[in-house]
């Protein structure tokens, strides 16, 4: 009872303070540290590293947190970084940034464009770029860490800063959890992350209560045939033709077999086979991404892909069945509605109601939800606009970084209830698939998973 009374008192005092001067006071010093955040962003942008190989990036973030007085541990789940700042009794809040980049050559022409090459998990050297905006997230996250350390008089509890590797291959969150993340470090009552949005102008914040991002499965198929001379096709079994038929037939899973009201995507992103015009190869490889929200639709599509691939091979009298491998699997990302509403209120108080809007579910994917699930804590991933308002083809990382730091900080100065109190107030969350709003997703411009 005294615990509840204490919570209510804290809530009341913090809630009133948050509406008045606490957010402003909590943000004091942002202008002063901003040049350093900008320099950090540029450095990170110029030196991207690929998934699960982010050694230098992790070391940079660890040194930033150490300098701020955080208790820092590196090499958690590979290259993960954990920074803990304890500030008396109170709830524990987890703030996550991703630290990996994508194997893409940068063609923006920006003065600080990446010319870096980086080694991937398979040991292959690739061009690398922070095309997904994780450099923005890291800079904003570092700014939030700095403001939290500076204004310890305005909050109480524990902050757990997570620098998560391997988000682009949806491995990092599970790798950190598998390395006893929540046994070695304080278990959060709330987990929060931000991701930039290529659809919205800088200055806007998007919150999607309920399901916000799709599940993902990567499927690799090898179609087998019997190679030979291109001028004598009757002596071969042509895997290029079988693969082509397979690609087209797979689309009928989405258009003809699944419920039209269930969102789903099947994209064949890569098809490779053969070496020369007049040689029919022995095999062709397909790489496919599958996006859904409903677990039953996900199962239906994955089973359908295997069925169609095998049937097309059989119809061509292929010498053997196709090989099918599923990897990079990740469940849909669920934003706790009650926490989403609280964060919306906190952010709207600082950024203005018109700038904090309800976003739409998207077919991109994330592994951040694993952290909240493993901790048994409500979690929310917020999107922040990253597009130049009058020129949608250009991103505007500078303003975006400012909002990112402000978003993290505004979240922190709000009253934070314990998980028990949260459940008491809001009951069990509705995690049913019907929670997803079925609106047509817009195609992302910037790359995301
Ligand atoms: Zn991303």
User: How far does the centroid of ligand 1 lie from the alpha carbon of residue 49, in Å?
Assistant: 13
User: How far does the centroid of ligand 1 lie from the alpha carbon of residue 237, in Å?
Assistant: 41
- The pair phi, psi for residue 222, each rounded to 5°, is -110, 120
pLDDT computed for residue 431 by the predictor: 39
User: How far does the centroid of ligand 1 lie from the alpha carbon of residue 362, in Å?
Assistant: 13
User: How far does the centroid of ligand 1 lie from the alpha carbon of residue 448, in Å?
Assistant: 5
CB 120 within 8 A of CB 52: no
The answer to pTM > 0.85 is: no
For residue range 78-127, what is the model confidence (pLDDT) as tens digits? 999 999 999 999 999 999 999 999 999 999 999 999 999 999 999 999 99
User: How far does the centroid of ligand 1 lie from the alpha carbon of residue 249, in Å?
Assistant: 31
User: How far does the centroid of ligand 1 lie from the alpha carbon of residue 26, in Å?
Assistant: 27
CA distance 128 to 138: 17
- How far from 120 is each of 53, 96, 100, 219, 363, CA to CA, in Å? 7, 23, 11, 19, 25
Topology given in CATH for the domain delimited by 215-329: Alpha-Beta Plaits (3.30.70)
419 Cβ contact partners less than 8 Å away, ≥ 6 residues apart: 91, 189, 190, 376, 377, 378
User: How far does the centroid of ligand 1 lie from the alpha carbon of residue 173, in Å?
Assistant: 13
CB 297 within 8 A of CB 261: no
CATH class of 2-213+332-435: alpha beta
For residue range 34-88, what is the model confidence (pLDDT) as tens digits? 999 999 999 999 999 999 999 999 999 999 999 999 999 999 999 999 999 999 9
User: How far does the centroid of ligand 1 lie from the alpha carbon of residue 192, in Å?
Assistant: 14
Of the candidates 1, 12, 18, the one whose C-alpha atom is nearest the C-alpha of residue 343 is 18
User: How far does the centroid of ligand 1 lie from the alpha carbon of residue 426, in Å?
Assistant: 30
What is the average pLDDT across 219-241?
98
User: How far does the centroid of ligand 1 lie from the alpha carbon of residue 133, in Å?
Assistant: 6
- Boundaries of every domain in the chain: 2-213+332-435, 215-329
User: How far does the centroid of ligand 1 lie from the alpha carbon of residue 386, in Å?
Assistant: 12
User: How far does the centroid of ligand 1 lie from the alpha carbon of residue 195, in Å?
Assistant: 6
Q: Give the DSSP per-residue string, 141-197.
A: HHHHHHHHHHTGGG--EEEEEEEE--TTTT-HHHHHHHTTHHHHSPPPSEEEEEEEE
- How far from 206 is each of 212, 292, 403, CA to CA, in Å? 10, 21, 12
What is the average pLDDT across 370-386?
95
CA distance 295 to 285: 27
For residue range 14-35, what is the model confidence (pLDDT) as tens digits? 333 333 345 567 778 888 999 9
User: How far does the centroid of ligand 1 lie from the alpha carbon of residue 98, in Å?
Assistant: 7
User: How far does the centroid of ligand 1 lie from the alpha carbon of residue 367, in Å?
Assistant: 10
- Give burial (CB, 10 Å; 0-12/13-18/19+) of 34: middle
Q: Helical H runs in 52-103?
A: 55-67
pLDDT computed for residue 20 by the predictor: 39
User: How far does the centroid of ligand 1 lie from the alpha carbon of residue 4, in Å?
Assistant: 38
CB 238 within 8 A of CB 329: no
User: How far does the centroid of ligand 1 lie from the alpha carbon of residue 168, in Å?
Assistant: 7
For the record, the structure tokens of 10 come out as 């804290």
Which of residues 149 and 8 earns the better pLDDT score? 149
User: What's the residue count for the chain?
Assistant: 449
Q: What are the DSSP E strand ranges found in 214-337?
A: 215-224, 228-229, 264-273, 279-280, 283-292, 323-330, 333-335
User: How far does the centroid of ligand 1 lie from the alpha carbon of residue 210, in Å?
Assistant: 19
Q: Helical H runs in 196-294?
A: 239-252
For residue range 387-429, what is the model confidence (pLDDT) as tens digits? 887 655 555 454 445 455 555 544 443 433 444 443 333 333 3
User: How far does the centroid of ligand 1 lie from the alpha carbon of residue 342, in Å?
Assistant: 24
pLDDT computed for residue 199 by the predictor: 86
């Amino acid at each position: 009872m005294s615990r509840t009374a204490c919570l209510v008192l804290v809530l009341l005092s913090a809630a009133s303070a948050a509406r008045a001067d606490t957010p402003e006071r909590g943000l004091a010093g942002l202008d002063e540290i901003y040049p350093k955040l900008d320099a950090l962003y540029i450095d990170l942008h110029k030196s991207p590293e690929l998934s699960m190989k982010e050694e230098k990036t992790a070391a940079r973030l660890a040194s930033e947190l150490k300098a701020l007085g955080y208790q820092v541990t590196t090499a958690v789940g590979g290259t993960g970084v954990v920074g803990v700042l304890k500030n008396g009794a109170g709830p524990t809040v987890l703030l996550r940034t991703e630290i990996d980049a994508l194997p893409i050559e940068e063609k923006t022409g920006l003065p600080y464009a990446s010319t870096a090459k980086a080694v991937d998990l398979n040991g292959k050297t690739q061009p690398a770029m922070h095309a997904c905006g994780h450099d923005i997230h890291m800079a904003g996250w570092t700014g939030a860490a700095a403001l939290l350390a500076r204004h310890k008089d305005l909050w109480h509890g524990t902050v757990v800063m997570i620098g998560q590797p391997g988000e682009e291959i949806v491995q990092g969150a599970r790798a950190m959890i598998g390395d006893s993340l929540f046994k070695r470090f304080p278990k959060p009552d709330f987990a929060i992350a931000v991701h930039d949005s290529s659809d919205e102008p800088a200055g806007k914040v998007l919150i999607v209560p309920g399901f916000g991002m799709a599940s993902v499965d990567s499927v690799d198929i090898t179609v087998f045939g019997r190679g030979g001379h291109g001028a004598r096709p009757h002596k071969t079994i042509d895997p290029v033709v079988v693969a082509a038929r397979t690609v087209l037939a797979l689309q009928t899973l989405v258009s003809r077999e699944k419920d039209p009201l269930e969102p789903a995507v099947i994209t064949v992103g890569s098809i490779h086979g053969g070496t020369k015009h007049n040689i029919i190869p022995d095999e062709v490889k397909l790489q496919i991404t599958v996006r859904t929200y409903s677990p039953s639709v996900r199962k239906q599509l994955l089973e359908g892909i295997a069925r169609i691939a095998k049937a097309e091979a059989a119809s061509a009298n292929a010498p053997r069945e196709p090989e099918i491998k599923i990897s990079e699997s990740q469940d849909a990302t669920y934003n706790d509605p009650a926490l989403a509403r609280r964060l919306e209120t906190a952010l709207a108080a600082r950024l203005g109601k018109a700038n904090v809007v309800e976003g739409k579910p998207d077919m991109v994917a994330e592994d951040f939800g694993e952290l909240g699930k493993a901790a048994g804590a409500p979690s929310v991933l917020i999107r922040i606009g990253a597009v130049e308002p009058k020129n949608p083809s250009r991103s505007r990382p500078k303003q975006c970084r400012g909002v990112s730091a402000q978003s993290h900080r505004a979240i922190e100065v709000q009253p934070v209830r314990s998980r028990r109190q949260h459940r008491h107030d809001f009951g069990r969350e509705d995690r049913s698939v019907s929670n997803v709003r079925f609106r047509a997703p817009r195609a992302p411009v910037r790359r995301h998973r």
